Amino acid sequence: MATVIPAIKARMGSTPYYETTMTAQELAGTVHPAQETDQWASATIEERIQRELNARRVKEEIVPYLLKAQDRFFGAMIVLLKDGELEFEDVTQFGLKVPSAQRSAAERMGFLNIVGGERIVLDGQHRLAALRTVVQREYDDGGQPDFAAEVPNDEISVIFIKYEDAEKTRRIFNKVNRSARVTTRADNIITSEDDGFAVVTRMLVRDKAPLGITYPPKNELVVDWKSNTIADKGSKLTTISTVYETVKDILDAEGIAMMDEKRSVVRPSEDLINEAYEAAECWWSKLMAKITPFKEAAADPSQLPRMREAGTYKLLLKPNGQQALVKGLARAVQRGAGLETIIERANQIDWADMEIWENVLIKPNGSMIARMDAYRQAADLIAYMVASEKTSEDQRDALKREYAILKGNPVAREMPIEQVPDLVPDPIVEDTIAA
């Protein structure tokens, strides 16, 4: 049975191809991934032309996007026709009068007859699986999702290629996927309009916002939005990725329920975004005003290389230390501490004391430890140091044991708590913590 659809004929290298569109319903009903072909299950690894389907990605990321996003959009899928024919008829063959100036273009436009064969998705198998799930109503969403009825009629761009041999097919598949650059984390934060944390993060670096600080001669932002690390000799205070992580911790501490784009594909309401920004803006304004290296960096970012070289604040001028600081403050607030007081206390912490931070945030050789466990452990320590009055006995005992282990006493894991050596630094208690 033939299918006739409007198309544009093109060629790249030795490969002719045809660009067209199909509805999601048509794609779901006529195109399938390589895994569903008779040959795929018994093929050797060298013969297989496609990766295994990641069902979790389909279910948890792409299907919710289709169901919830009004502005949903997919790039073109590449479909391979195996054991069939792609017959193209351009519009000039139908007796249409085409001016000579447009004839060469008209010869590339026409109708594609797809005759027989198997239609195998070469690039876009996860998108196809998600479209199938929605079209066939195989999702579980506790009711009728927002756009479920519209998705089957969505028009998807499709590129058809005729199968020649397995070697050429593998080569095309490999190059298409290898040359497609995955967006960086910073790219996602800068461009996402649906991730509430990303939206709030960008608001924090706007002009006149707490982190919207620029420095001459090119008026560059003091927040690095290109890299996840900070060079010792650079005039950057932090990274966009670090600010994003602090926003998550701040909103968690303030009890503001916001989710990232993977868990909620729909942009949060403007009221929620404004509430979230007010909280994040409050925290970062206080941090920039009360934490000495942040305050000095805001006054003159050109001094940052010197400040890092001096070593006094090097840890706090690195993303690791900044992330641990905010996470620790957030933990203290959740225990009932007052933000102003704990920030003032945090400014009195000795960030240059290797005895405190070695094996917590810094390796013995001086390099940073960039692991989520390290941030969590450092946050527990910071929360205690700035809010010991709000730390329960159980929390203090857990910190005592964990800190002893980090400091090279693995047997502390099994000891009765009273026998565990107490190596935890003294808390900062010159004042009375605010409730």
Q: Predicted confidence band at 127 (pLDDT cuts at 50, 70, 90)? A: very high
DSSP assignment letter at 151: G
For residue 157, give every residue at least 6 positions away whose Cβ sits within 8 Å of its Cβ, in sequence order, or none. 19, 20, 21, 74, 75, 76, 77
Domain ranges of the chain: 2-180, 186-419
Q: Predicted confidence band at 435 (pLDDT cuts at 50, 70, 90)? A: very low
CA 382 from centre of chain: 27
Inter-CA distances, 158 with 18, 54, 123, Å: 8, 21, 10
CA distance 383 to 433: 12
Buried b (16+ CB within 10 A) or exposed e, 217-238: eeeebbbbbeeeebeeeebbbb
Using CB atoms within 10 A of its CB, is residue 338 exposed (0-12), middle (13-18) or buried (19+)? middle
DSSP assignment letter at 143: S
Residues 288, 298: contact at Cβ < 8 Å? yes
CA distance 195 to 185: 12
Mean pLDDT across 254-264 = 82
The per-residue pLDDT for 146 is 84
Q: Predicted confidence band at 234 (pLDDT cuts at 50, 70, 90)? A: confident
Residues 127, 77: contact at Cβ < 8 Å? yes
Q: Which has the minimum average pLDDT: 132-141, 170-179, 181-190, 374-383?
A: 170-179
Sequence length of the chain is 435
CA distance 401 to 412: 6
Q: Which has the minimum average pLDDT: 27-41, 239-253, 376-390, 410-424?
A: 27-41
* β-bridge pairing 118-123 and 32-33: parallel
Question: How confident is the model over 169-178, as pLDDT tens digits?
Answer: 878 887 887 7
Q: Does residue 233 carry a pLDDT above 90?
A: no
The per-residue pLDDT for 97 is 81
For residue 341, give the nearest of 391, 285, 286 by alpha carbon: 286
For residue 333, give the nearest of 287, 402, 401 by alpha carbon: 287
Mean pLDDT across 149-168 = 93
CA distance 75 to 307: 47
Question: How confident is the model over 110-121, as pLDDT tens digits?
Answer: 999 999 999 999
CA distance 240 to 58: 28
Where is mean pLDDT largest: 19-23, 179-183, 233-237? 19-23
HEC assignment per residue over 316-332: HHCHHHHHHHHHHHHHH
The per-residue pLDDT for 35 is 76
Q: What angle do CA 188, 194, 199 make, to 5 degrees?
A: 70
Question: How confident is the model over 267-318, as pLDDT tens digits?
Answer: 889 999 999 999 999 999 999 999 999 999 999 999 999 998 888 898 999 9
The SS3 call for residue 90 is: strand
The per-residue pLDDT for 41 is 47
The per-residue pLDDT for 181 is 67
Question: How confident is the model over 328-345, as pLDDT tens digits?
Answer: 999 999 999 999 999 999
Question: How confident is the model over 40-66, as pLDDT tens digits?
Answer: 545 554 455 555 678 888 988 899 889
Q: Which amino acid is at 239?
A: T
Q: Report whether the peptide linkage leading into residue 305 is cis, meaning its omega lies within 30 degrees of zero.
A: no
CA distance 300 to 304: 8
Mean pLDDT of the chain: 89
For residue 105, give every residue at least 6 positions away whose Cβ sits within 8 Å of its Cβ, in sequence order, or none. none
